[in-house]
Structure 1
Amino acid sequence: MKVVKGGTVSRLLKDVPVPEMFHARQTFPREVIAPKDIPAVVFREMAQPQFAEKIKPGMSIAVTAGSRGIRNVDIITKAVVDFVKQKGASPFIVPAMGSHGGATAEGQVEILESFGITEKTMGCPIRSSMEVVELGYSSLGRRVVIDKNAYESDGIIVSCRLKPHNAFRGTHESGPCKMMTVGLGKQVGAQVVHSDGMGKIAQNIPTMAAVVLEKAPVLFAIPCIENAYDETCKIEAILPENILEREAELLKYAFSNMPKLIVGEGDVLVVDKIGKNFSGTGVDPNITGTFSTEFAKGGIQVQRTCFLNLSKESHGNALGCGLASAITNKIFEEMDIEKMYPNCLTSTVLASAHIPCVTATDREAIQLCICTCNGLGDAPVRMVRIANSLHIDTIMLSKAYYDDVKAGKYPGVEALDEPAPLEFDEEDNVVTPVRI
């Protein structure tokens, strides 16, 4: 596909005004575990007798590591590994990420490397394979499998993040149960979990997890939870017999710590950068409202959304672009369908990989969204700009919000400066930073 700067599209968009914008700070509750304190917290949790006694000298212990952009994942994983070593056992890391990394063992190792998780930094082997072992069938008749390396170990420690999912709602969303069935299930298991569609995944995950807990050598789970500032705020070890019940309780806590765009609604949302390190769908729809299915709702309500850049950590996986109104040619040219489509084939959700309108520049992506909004009349456009969906403590708002923010209409939102034109470089890519 040829995207031309200066062609007909550029001519049609040339005179569409981009509103002046100002920086604003959003304030949320901030319970946090400082990175320097994380190893001690991990050790404290695992040192409790009911967990520590499960790790015996000489045991081969599989420690899971996922594909999401989890804050401090390298510190957390290293702490788990170090505790296992301290107990005289031999840990190894298993990539637990379903079909991510192009559904290849090498691709999954590459993802871990981008998070700082390597054999050298962790001080233990990484055993990456797509081979699985069949464990049986769930109460709903779904085949349950697990990573062969993990299954053949003497014990599995399920290290992961616990958070709301971006495409469905249930008692168990993203957390230990999903890690055991989708992550450790590799491409085969992930496909089974998703095979009935997002309307049934909330039932498949816990019922399939029950089989893993019964048939696989799971020692315990140690999920982390993040606050609204993408900081680690809670780490808790959970015995296998308590995982199903406790995960459901912790999900409510995770929901209470979710950030949001406090203004709630607008006309246009601009996201500077997307990627798998921010969310499975490039951006977290719980923030942006760009859900890929009808089985989850939330986030800011806007008419149009544009994405401007793809993170290098995403390795060409631009999944989620299909949920935008417009993307830039920068993103389009970096797309790697070999990385994107395996996720779609596994999840059976295709909308995330659709190609939206593609523009030559950042300015034109923003202008396209503005000029296609309906019902604005003479009203000034309400535009929200974020750096990415993980970091929304500082955002930009268009001039239309300014008086209301100054008047205190949005508790938790503070104007940091006055409205001013966005600055663009010679290529018409925006250079005004969101975070100051």
Structure 2
Amino acid sequence: MWELLREGDITESLNLSKFNQIQLPKFLKVRQNFKKDRIVDIKNEVKEKVHSQLHNLKNKRIAVGVGSRGIANIDIITKTVIDSLKEAGARPFIVPAMGSHGGATEKGQKEILGSYGITEENMGVNIDLSMDTEIIGEYESDLPVYVAKSALNADGIVIIPRIKPHTGFRGKVESGVCKMLCIGLGKQKGADSIHSKGFERFPELIPQIGCMIAKKTKVLFAVAIVENAYDEIYKIEIITKDEILDLKKEETLLKESRELMGKILIPKFDVLIIDEIGKNISGNGQDPNVTGLYFTGCVSGGPEFKKCVIFDITKESHGNANGVGVSDIITRKLFDKINFIDMYTNCFTSTYMEPAKIPMVASTSEDAIKIAVKICNGVKNREYKIVWIKNTMELENIIVSEPLIEEVKSNSNLDILTNSEDLKFYEGEPKFSWGKL
């Protein structure tokens, strides 16, 4: 069936030669300036922070939970945690803590970890890929709480989460320690159970169920990570079991993460172009905290624009194009890479179908851009205000169209890096003299 869809009219772009000529404006490269503080010696920082927690671990099997996000230096951090546990006499092993990602299969989750350099060979320990879970209790009568058997059978649990704003709700804690405990370590069943209540209840469920799991299991501590706007490690903090239950430390780190994260510093324009989306970038492919392209009604904010174009999907996403549905136009290149089973599994588990909807498919990136600007009502040729980013994790350098130049000049956090130039296309793909973003 998919072969027929891919070969049929669904991926044939409009023949733009039948319409009036669409003239694009000139473009220039711009640098966005954010706070640049970061940890230089990642390995030493992890060793120093973890050291105080390494007591009474001799011969104990410790499950180390690692998720599916593309966290900076996650391979170095994970390896250092494992080596530190080994030095304390423990017998660590890795447990994927990513809910239903990777198509909710052992093979899919192994591939995701492998794309981050987290393999048995590189880490020097086994990876327990089992999707089996046990119910450790009920939060309420129809809300069982699941935890991976592999973690429950260990003598202790350590998790390595990144703390950041969530893409679908707002609460005292969002993406981080509690979410990894209840959704990540819950595997597909745990993720499905909690998502069945909808994002409206996440501000309550995430911290409460996370604390329930921490209290009822052998959780030892979390190695919590906060990144800066440049996708670099800004802070690494140990959150002990007691601190997980208290919630205050995670709340404080979330506030810090929110202040640090990258943004699009131009508040209003016509078209947003995104080179790539992917599960390694955000749970929704692109981070709505950056773009404002939220798929739930529980969150708002971000820049104001009319249309969005997405060109491609990252290799690390393994075809899971979750989040593509928030855009207006995608390319044939992206469409052909979609793993519908992985994407549908993700959306089915989350109970939100909007991220899996397929937008208009354009044959090339050139067609995608021209379609997007043409359907911006009330804007004349060459006057289109366009912001162009690589992805929502890499926001230092962006491309803007010339009609935005006055907004750029008036913002002290924006620097113009190039002269304006016409956008050229080769076989439908954009080319600038300065190269890629």
Counterpart CA distance in 2 for 1:16 and 1:128 is 51
Q: Unmatched 5+ residue regions in structure 2?
A: none
Supply the distance in 2 between the matched residues of 1:268 and 1:434 (Cα, whole angstroms). 21
Supply the distance in 2 between the matched residues of 1:344 and 1:77 (Cα, whole angstroms).
28
Instruction: Give the Cα–Cα distance (whole angstroms) in 2 for the partners of residues 179 and 160 of structure 1.
Output: 7
Structure 1 unmatched runs, 5+: none
Q: Spell out the pairing of 1:123-202 with structure 2 (5 A cutoff).
A: 123-138=124-139, 142-202=143-203
| Partner SS, residue 239 of structure 2 | coil
Measured after TM superposition, the shift of residue 403 of structure 1 is 3.2
Q: Distance in 2 between matches of 1:322 and 1:6?
A: 18
User: Partner of 2:58 in structure 1?
Assistant: 57
> Match of 1:44, as an amino acid?
E
Q: Find the aligned partners of 2:363 and 2:221 in 1 and give their Cα distance.
A: 50
Q: 1:288 aligns with which of 281, 286, 291?
A: 291
Which residue does 1:430 correspond to in 2? Answer: 430
Q: Is the 8 A contact 1:3 1:329 kept in 2?
A: no
Cα displacement string for residues 48-71 of structure 1 (whole angstroms, at most 9, x for unaligned residues): 2xx222x51100000011001111
* Percent identity of paired positions between Structure 1 and Structure 2: 40
**Residue 102 (structure 1) aligns with:** 103
Corresponding position of 1:38: 42
CA 1:65–1:374 in structure 2 vs 1: closer, same or farther (change >3 Å)? same
Tell me the equivalent position of 2:211: 210
Selected match of 1:383 from 373, 376, 386: 386
Tell me which amino acid in the other structure corresponds to 1:301. Answer: E
Alignment match, 1:18: 24
Aligned residue type for 1:319? N
Q: Tell me, yes or no, if structure 1 residue 259 matches structure 2 residue 262.
A: yes
**CA drift at 1:313:** 1.0
Task: Confirm or deny: 8 A CA contact 1:3 1:359 kept in the other structure.
Answer: no
1:356 aligned partner: 359
Tell me by how many angstroms 1:140 deviates.
8.1
Check the 8 A contact 1:137/1:211 in 2, yes or no: no
Distance 1:421 1:140 in 2: 62
* Contact persistence 1:64–1:93 (CA under 8 A): yes
Which residues of 2 match residues 262-341 of structure 1 at below 5 A? 262-341=265-344
Cα distance in 2 between the residues matched to 1:253 and 1:6? 46
Cα distance in 1 for residues equivalent to 2:183 and 2:17: 47
Cα distance in 2 between the residues matched to 1:131 and 1:140: 22
The amino acid of 1:76's aligned partner reads: I
2:294 alignment partner, SS class: coil
SS of match in other structure, 1:238: strand
User: Could you list the per-position Cα deviations for residues 207-242 of structure 1 after superposition, in whole angstroms to 9, with x for gaps in the alignment?
Assistant: 111210111100011110100111010000011111
CA deviation after TM superposition for structure 1 residue 11, in Å: 2.5
In 2, Cα distance between equivalents of 1:252 and 1:98: 25
Match of 1:75 in 2: 76
Q: Which residue number corresponds to residue 29 of structure 1? A: 35
Aligned-partner SS, 1:146:
strand
- Distance in 1, matches of 2:119 and 2:19, equals 47
Structure 1 residues 301, 220: closer, same or farther in 2, change over 3 A? same
Please report how far the alpha carbon of residue 28 of structure 1 lies from its aligned counterpart in structure 2 after TM superposition. Answer: 0.5
User: Aligned partners of 1:201, 1:161: CA distance in 2, in Å?
Assistant: 18
Deviation at 1:14, TM superposition (A): 6.9
Structure 1 residue 7: Cα displacement: 6.7
Helix, strand or coil: the match of 2:430? coil
- Give RMSD over aligned pairs: 1.7
Counterpart-to-counterpart distance in 2, 1:286 and 1:248: 17
Local SS of the residue matching 1:319:
coil
Aligned to 1:242: 243
Task: Measure the CA separation in 2 of the matches of 1:203 and 1:227.
Answer: 27
SS at match of 2:69: coil
Contact 2:12 2:361 in 1 (8 A): no
The amino acid that maps onto 1:326 is I
> Matched residues in 2 for 1:431 and 1:379: separation?
18
**How many equivalent residue pairs?**
428
Aligned mates of 1:370, 1:392 — CA distance in 2: 22
- Are 1:365 and 2:368 counterparts? yes
Range with greater deviation from structure 2 (274-283 or 118-127): 274-283
Q: Work out the CA distance in 2 between the residues paired with 1:201 and 1:261.
A: 27
In 1, Cα distance between equivalents of 2:159 and 2:234: 18
Taking structure 2 as the reference length, what is the TM-score of the superposition? Answer: 0.94
CA spacing shift, 1:376–1:28, aligned 2, 3 Å: same
| Residue-by-residue CA offset, 1:309-345 (whole Å, 9 max, x unaligned) | 1111111111111000100011111111111011111
Greater Cα shift, 230-239 or 140-149 = 140-149
Measured in 2, the distance between the counterparts of 1:109 and 1:5 equals: 32
Q: Are the structure 2 counterparts of residues 298 and 179 from structure 1 closer, same or farther at C-alpha, using a change threshold of 3 Å?
A: same
Deviations 1:28-83 (A, max 9, x none): 0111012xx111111111112xx222x51100000011001111111110111010
1:112 positional shift: 0.2
Cα shift at 1:89: 0.6
Answer yes or no: is the 8 Å Cα contact 1:3–1:358 preserved in 2. no
- 1:236 and 1:5 mapped to 2: Cα distance? 47
Query: For the residues of structure 1 that align with 2:141 and 2:251, how far apart are their CA atoms?
Result: 20
Q: Check whether the contact 1:323–1:351 (CA below 8 A) recurs between aligned residues.
A: yes
Q: Name the SS of the counterpart of 1:430 in structure 2.
A: strand
What is the deviation of 1:287? Answer: 1.0
Do structure 1's residue 395 and structure 2's residue 398 form an aligned pair? yes
Contact 2:178 2:206 in 1 (8 A): yes
For 1:79 and 1:13, locate their aligned partners in 2 and report how far apart those are by CA, in whole Å.
59
